[in-house]
């Protein structure tokens, strides 16, 4: 990695304000639900919305790429090409040659700070409002006998979400995201059209060329680039998911991944998240930067996580979200890399679900909100370690010609003109009812009364690029080749890192928690309290239960890079693992009952 990389893409992707700017995002005048995309597709009454949505995606693909309202420009807000969108530079314009080298993130998106959930909210609204405006135009072109139905559908259209933590996601990514063609009822009747939900062809080259063999135009002998480089996408090439040496998608591999990771990673992640009342802990995967006094008190790697109110970053929406990116993209797939992820249209269906999870979490914990904190990665407009709070401008999303949207502005989704079906259903009720519904929806199966966890604390910046840290139980020989279908595989923590972070000025930690209960059940490991053997200390006479775990031997940590290679836990930044459990209070649906917590020990690397 070096400066030459940043300058080579900079010249070819200069973005400028065109006549189409400024792009102002306006709330919708009527509240309609953002539907589950499976309902939109399968339910006759919503199908016209689906017909319009897909055609609208194609329409924004087809807009001139210089247009700020084109898919290319909107997708490029998240990471590359690291240039001003709609002229928004902020007070500290990003300089590829210096800021990038110092580890500042050059996209506008917030990761690893409290603005992760709210920043993506106006981002979703930006693409959604562009799709709605196309849908309205398309609806008016239907023949008279269908026009009314389609005009109504366009008026009610909101971007649908794909719930990839639902049990149905174990079957993989729905076919309407993976087929090259799709049948729609268009203004010219039923037609098979090119499916824009599968992929997007880049109008200009994205990222920078890699050494020979590692670029898509080397197909059929394409060697997937090693994980520390963003894949290069030459102009005219499409986005891909789990590509092979011919630069073709391998949907079977992607879908197998979903069948394994939905129950082991995604569902437990959301299940845990709906127990976390503290916004700081809920909102993002980072624990601490050394410049960040606000976060110091969470003290990662403390010998006993049970003593912390809020369970010390037990689970966050971002950690689970990170897992989706790796699982759907695979090595060299666009979704796997923060810099280029926004160019795969599946990104927006995924982030709509993340926004739904955020809205539902707000519904469960209406009084918990954004504390003042620090943006540890910086963004295109914000320098490293900027203070962030609910009034921070969510650039580049304009509320008016002079103002940007803030988190405070987007706190209530209904005020923006949308809701989610399950959120609407529990409106006005005791938040406990919504929480009980969500815990039931994502509950682990089988549903044991006590659940066991391994929490990992990982120093960020040890490796560049995305990777995952797999947890196996009672398999000291586990390595990168051990199949994740093994009964010993419990789950993973994703490290979704962008490649700019070659230099990190302060120590930042990421935490994630793996639910190992189902794995223990499969392996027949004893789980009940009365199974414990009492251990009497011969000197003091103190009686204490023998731990069911020997943390050093029974929990096996295997970091795996996207290319399948392994590195040791220490090299991957793993500093500490901690094992503990909580009892499930079935009466109050309160799962993480602090008084029932048991701690089994820490292993340091
Ligand atoms: Cu994301």
Gap from CA of 525 to ligand 1 centroid (Å): 36
Q: How far is CA 362 from CA 85, 151, 528, in A?
A: 30, 32, 34
Whether the per-residue pLDDT at 307 is higher than 50: the answer is no
Cα 200 to averaged position of ligand 1 atoms, centre (Å): 17
Q: How far is the CA of 5 from the centre of ligand 1 (A)?
A: 24
pLDDT of residue 291: 37
Q: What is the pLDDT of residues 398-422, one digit of tens each?
A: 999 989 999 999 999 999 999 999 9
Per-residue confidence (pLDDT) for residue 587, from 0 to 100: 55
CA 64 to centroid of ligand 1, rounded, Å: 25
Residue bearing the bigger pLDDT, 176 or 506 = 176
**C-alpha 83 to ligand 1 mean position (Å):** 19
Give residue 105's pLDDT band: very low, low, confident or very high (50, 70, 90): confident
- State the distance from the centre of ligand 1 to the C-alpha of 130, rounded, in angstroms: 20
Q: How many Å apart are CA 352 and CA 349, to the nearest integer? A: 5
Interval between CA 595 and ligand 1 midpoint (Å)? 35
| Pairwise pLDDT comparison (296 vs 79), residue with the higher score | 79
504 Cα–ligand 1 center, Å: 21
Q: What is the mean pLDDT of the chain?
A: 86
Pull the structure tokens for residue 65.
Answer: 């790429």
In the reported structure, the alpha carbon of residue 321 is separated from the centroid of ligand 1 by a whole-number distance in angstroms of 6
- Eight-class DSSP state of 144: H
Is the dihedral angle over the CA atoms 219, 224, 225, 230 positive or is it negative? positive
- Whole-number Å distance, alpha carbon 326 to ligand 1 midpoint, is 10
Cβ contact 68:88 at 8 Å: no
- Does residue 228 register a pLDDT over 90? no
Cα 325 to middle of ligand 1, angstroms: 7
Going by C-alpha positions, the residue among 482, 512, 488, 602 that lies closest to residue 550 is 602
Q: For residues 527 and 449, is the Cβ–Cβ distance under 8 A?
A: no
Q: Highest-confidence range of 57-71, 296-310, 548-562, by mean pLDDT?
A: 57-71
Q: What average pLDDT score do residues 251-257 get?
A: 96
pLDDT at 315: 79
Is pLDDT of 447 > 90? no
Number of Cβ atoms within 10 Å of the Cβ of 114: 28
Give 279-304 pLDDT, tens digit per residue. 888 888 876 543 333 344 444 444 44
Q: Please count the other Cβ atoms lying within 10 Å of the Cβ belonging to residue 68.
A: 24
Going from the Cα of 448 to the center of ligand 1, the distance in angstroms, rounded, reads 31
Q: Whose structure tokens read 């406990």?
A: 432
pLDDT in the model for residue 295: 40
pLDDT band at residue 528 using 50, 70 and 90 as cut-offs:
low
For residue 259, report the distance from its CA to the centre of ligand 1, in Å: 20
SS3 (DSSP) at 147 = helix
CA of 596 to the centre of ligand 1 (A): 34
- Distance (angstroms) between ligand 1 centre and the Cα of 265 equals 16
Ligand 1 centre to CA of 23 (Å) is 22
Distance 429 CA to ligand 1 centre (A): 30
Q: What is the Cα–Cα distance from 6 to 1, expressed in whole angstroms?
A: 9
335 Cα to the center of ligand 1, angstroms: 8
pLDDT of 143: 98
Structure tokens at 159: 């971007």
**C-alpha 350 to ligand 1 mean position (Å):** 7
The rounded Å distance from CA 467 to ligand 1 centre is 15
- Size of the chain, expressed as the number of residues it contains: 605
In three-state form (DSSP H/G/I as H, E/B as E, the rest C), the secondary structure along 221-259 is CCCCCCCCCCCCECCCCECCCCCCCCCCCCHHHHHHHHH
Distance in Å, CA 521 to ligand 1 centroid? 32
The encoded tokens of residue 433 equal: 């009812």
Higher pLDDT, 4 or 14: 14
Confidence of residue 576 (pLDDT cuts 50, 70, 90): confident
Contact 224, 246 (CB under 8 A): no
Q: Report the distance separating Cα 61 and Cα 52, nearest Å.
A: 14
CB count in 10 Å sphere of residue 73? 24
Report the pLDDT value the prediction gives residue 538, as an integer from 0 to 100.
62
d(CA 54, CA 600): 51
Cα(320) to centroid of ligand 1, in Å? 10
Is pLDDT larger for residue 153 or for residue 227? 153
User: What is the share, in percent, of the chain residues with pLDDT greater than 70?
Assistant: 84
342 CA to centre of ligand 1 in angstroms: 8
Helix, strand, coil tally for the chain in percent (to 5): 35, 20, 50
Question: What is residue 12's predicted lDDT score, i.e. its pLDDT?
Answer: 39
> Could you tell me the distance, in angstroms and rounded to a whole number, from the CA of residue 16 to the centre of ligand 1?
25
Residue 446 or 105, more confident: 105
User: For residue 137, what pLDDT is reported?
Assistant: 98
Distance from Cα 113 to the centre of ligand 1, integer Å = 13
User: Cα-flanking dihedrals φ and ψ of residue 590, to 5°?
Assistant: -100, 110
- What is the distance in A from the centroid of ligand 1 to the CA of 336? 9
Distance from the CA of 468 to the center of ligand 1, in angstroms?
16
CA distance 144 to 146: 5
* Residue 305: other Cβ atoms inside 10 A: 26
Distance from residue 351's CA to the centre of ligand 1 (Å):
6
The pLDDT of 517-539, averaged and rounded, is 66
Partners of 419 in the β-ladder:
33
Q: How far is the CA of 322 from the centre of ligand 1 (A)?
A: 7
Instruction: Tell me how far the alpha carbon of residue 283 lies from the centroid of ligand 1, in angstroms.
Output: 13
Ligand 1 centroid – CA 111 distance (Å): 9
Band (3; pLDDT cuts 50, 70, 90): very low
Of 193, 198, 195, 194, give the one whose Cα is nearest residue 251: 198
DSSP assignment of 502-560: T--SS--EEEEEEE-HHHHHHHT----GGGPPEEE-TTT--EEEPPS--HHHHEEEEEE
């Amino acid at each position: 990695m070096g400066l030459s990389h940043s300058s080579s893409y900079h010249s070819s992707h200069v973005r400028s304000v065109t006549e189409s700017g400024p792009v102002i995002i306006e709330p919708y005048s009527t509240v309609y639900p953002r539907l589950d995309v499976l309902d939109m597709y399968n339910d006759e009454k919503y199908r016209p919305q689906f017909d319009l949505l897909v055609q609208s995606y194609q329409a924004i693909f087809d807009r001139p790429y210089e247009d700020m309202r084109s898919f290319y420009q909107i997708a490029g807000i998240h990471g590359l090409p690291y240039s001003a969108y709609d002229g928004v530079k902020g007070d500290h314009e990003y300089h590829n040659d210096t800021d990038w080298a110092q580890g500042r993130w050059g996209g506008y998106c917030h990761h690893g700070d409290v603005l992760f959930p709210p920043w993506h909210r106006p981002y979703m609204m930006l693409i959604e409002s562009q799709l709605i405006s196309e849908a309205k135009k398309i609806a008016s072109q239907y023949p008279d006998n269908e026009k009314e139905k389609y005009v109504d559908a366009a008026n009610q259209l909101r971007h649908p979400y794909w719930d990839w933590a639902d049990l149905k996601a174990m079957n993989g990514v729905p076919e309407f995201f993976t087929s090259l063609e799709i049948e729609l009822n268009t203004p010219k009747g039923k037609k098979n059209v090119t499916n824009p939900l599968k992929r997007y062809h880049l109008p200009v080259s994205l990222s920078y060329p890699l050494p020979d063999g590692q670029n898509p135009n080397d197909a059929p002998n394409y060697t997937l680039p090693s994980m520390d480089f963003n894949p290069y996408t030459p102009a005219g090439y499409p986005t891909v998911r789990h590509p092979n040496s011919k630069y073709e998608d391998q949907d079977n591999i992607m879908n197998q991944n979903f069948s394994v990771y939905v129950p082991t990673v995604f569902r437990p992640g959301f299940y845990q998240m709906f127990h976390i009342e503290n916004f700081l802990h809920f909102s993002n995967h980072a624990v601490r930067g050394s410049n960040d006094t606000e976060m110091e008190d969470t003290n990662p790697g403390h010998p006993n996580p049970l003593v912390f109110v809020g369970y010390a970053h037990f689970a966050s929406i971002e950690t689970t979200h990170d897992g989706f990116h790796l699982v759907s993209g695979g090595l060299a797939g666009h979704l796997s890399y923060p810099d280029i992820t926004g160019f795969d249209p599946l990104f927006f269906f995924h982030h709509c679900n993340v926004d739904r999870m955020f809205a539902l979490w707000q519904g469960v914990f209406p009084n918990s909100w954004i504390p003042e904190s620090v943006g540890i990665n910086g963004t295109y407009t914000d320098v490293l370690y900027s203070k962030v709070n609910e009034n921070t401008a969510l650039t580049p999303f304009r509320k008016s010609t002079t103002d940007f949207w803030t988190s405070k502005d987007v706190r209530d989704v209904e005020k923006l003109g949308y809701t989610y079906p399950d959120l609407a259903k529990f409106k006005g009720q005791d938040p406990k009812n919504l929480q009980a519904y969500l815990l039931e929806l994502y509950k682990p199966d089988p549903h044991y009364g006590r659940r066991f966890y391994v929490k990992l604390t990982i120093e960020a910046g040890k490796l560049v690029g995305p990777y995952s840290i797999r947890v196996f139980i009672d398999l000291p020989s586990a390595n990168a080749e051990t199949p994740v279908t093994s009964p010993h595989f419990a789950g993973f923590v994703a490290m979704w890192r962008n490649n700019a972070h070659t230099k990190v000025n302060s120590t930042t930690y990421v935490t994630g928690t793996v639910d190992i209960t189902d794995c223990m059940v499969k392996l027949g490991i004893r789980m009940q309290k009365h199974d414990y053997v009492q251990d009497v200390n011969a000197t003091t006479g103190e009686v204490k239960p023998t731990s069911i775990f020997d943390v050093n031997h029974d929990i096996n940590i295997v970091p795996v890079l996207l290319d399948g290679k392994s590195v040791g836990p220490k090299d991957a930044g793993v500093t500490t693992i901690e094992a503990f459990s909580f009892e499930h209070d079935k009466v109050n649906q309160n799962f993480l009952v602090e008084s029932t917590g048991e701690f089994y020990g820490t292993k340091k690397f």
